Structure 1
Amino acid sequence: MPQLIPFYFLNQLSFAFLTLIGLVYVFSKYILPLFTFQQVIRLYITKLSNR
């Protein structure tokens, strides 16, 4: 059934695109701010320990 091949690739492409959008959203909303907060805390700890 070669007539179904374009629909298969379109399904793969749309699933990959939605997965990429979901990953970008989760990383930007939940994971990356935690790393930024962790770096700020480390900076404050080193500044306080150098006094």
Structure 2
Amino acid sequence: MPQLIPFYFLNQLSFSFFTLLALIYILSKYILPLFTFQQVIRMYITKLSNKS
């Protein structure tokens, strides 16, 4: 049925858009701060080990 093709593409577009938004939110809220915190801890340990 050709009249359903635009709805199919709109469904794909909206699903991929919401998936991308959810992925960006989860990465920025939970995963990326852990990497930043890990780098800060590594720098702190390196500075402490260089002093002794």
TM-score bucket of the superposed structures, by smaller chain:
over 0.9
TM-score by length of 1: 0.98
Deviation per residue, 1:10-33 (Å, 9 max, x gap): 000000000000001000000000
Please, what is the CA RMSD of the aligned residues? 0.3
**Count of residues paired in the alignment:** 51
Unaligned runs of 5+ in 1: none
Query: Counterpart amino acid of 2:12?
Result: Q
Structure 1 segments, 4+ long, off by >4 Å, are none
Give yes or no for the alignment of 1:28 onto 2:36: no
Unaligned runs of 5+ in 2: none
TM-score by length of 2: 0.96
Q: Aligned partners of 1:24 and 1:30: how far apart in 2?
A: 10
Q: How much identity, in percent, do the aligned residues show?
A: 82
Query: Counterpart amino acid of 2:5?
Result: I
Deviation at 1:37, TM superposition (A): 0.1
